[in-house]
Structure 1
Amino acid sequence: MRLEAEERGDLLVVHVQEERIDAAAAIQFKDRMREVVVTPAPRVLLDLSKVTFLDSSGLGAVVSVMKLLGPERRLELAALAPVVQKVFRLTRMDRVFTIHEQVSDAY
Structure 2
Amino acid sequence: MKLNHQDFEDVRVVCVDENRIDAACAIQFKDEMRGLSEAGPSRIILDLGNVEFLDSSGLGAVVAALKAVRHGQRLELAALHPTVQRVFHLTRMDTVFTIHDSVSTAVEGVANAS
| TM-score computed with the length of structure 2 as normaliser | 0.90
Count of residues in Structure 1 that have an aligned counterpart in Structure 2: 107
Q: Which consecutive unaligned segments of at least 5 residues does structure 1 have?
A: none
Q: Shift of the alpha carbon at 1:43?
A: 0.5
Structure 2 residue matching 1:61: 3-state secondary structure = helix
Structure 1 or 2, whichever has the larger Rg, is 2
Matches of residues 60-99 of structure 1 in structure 2 within 5 Å? 60-99=60-99
1 CA distance for matches of 2:83 and 2:40?
31
Q: Shift of the alpha carbon at 1:87?
A: 0.3
> AA paired with 1:41?
P
Give the structure with the larger helix fraction.
Answer: 2
Q: Shift of the alpha carbon at 1:32?
A: 1.1
Q: Which consecutive unaligned segments of at least 5 residues does structure 2 have?
A: 108-114
Q: Shift of the alpha carbon at 1:71?
A: 4.1
Q: Which residue number corresponds to residue 2 of structure 1?
A: 2
1 CA distance for matches of 2:37 and 2:73?
10
> AA paired with 2:27?
I
Residues 38, 69 of structure 2: 8 Å contact kept: no
* Alpha-carbon displacement from aligned partner over 1:19-77 (angstroms, at most 9, x marks no partner): 00001110010111122223231010000000000011001000101010044111000
Q: Which residue number corresponds to residue 39 of structure 2?
A: 39
2 CA distance for matches of 1:19 and 1:37?
21
| TM-score computed with the length of structure 1 as normaliser | 0.96
Q: Which residue number corresponds to residue 15 of structure 2?
A: 15
Residues 10, 43 of structure 2: 8 Å contact kept: yes
Q: Which moved more, 1:52-61 or 1:32-41?
A: 32-41
Q: Which residue number corresponds to residue 55 of structure 2?
A: 55
2 CA distance for matches of 1:81 and 1:34?
23
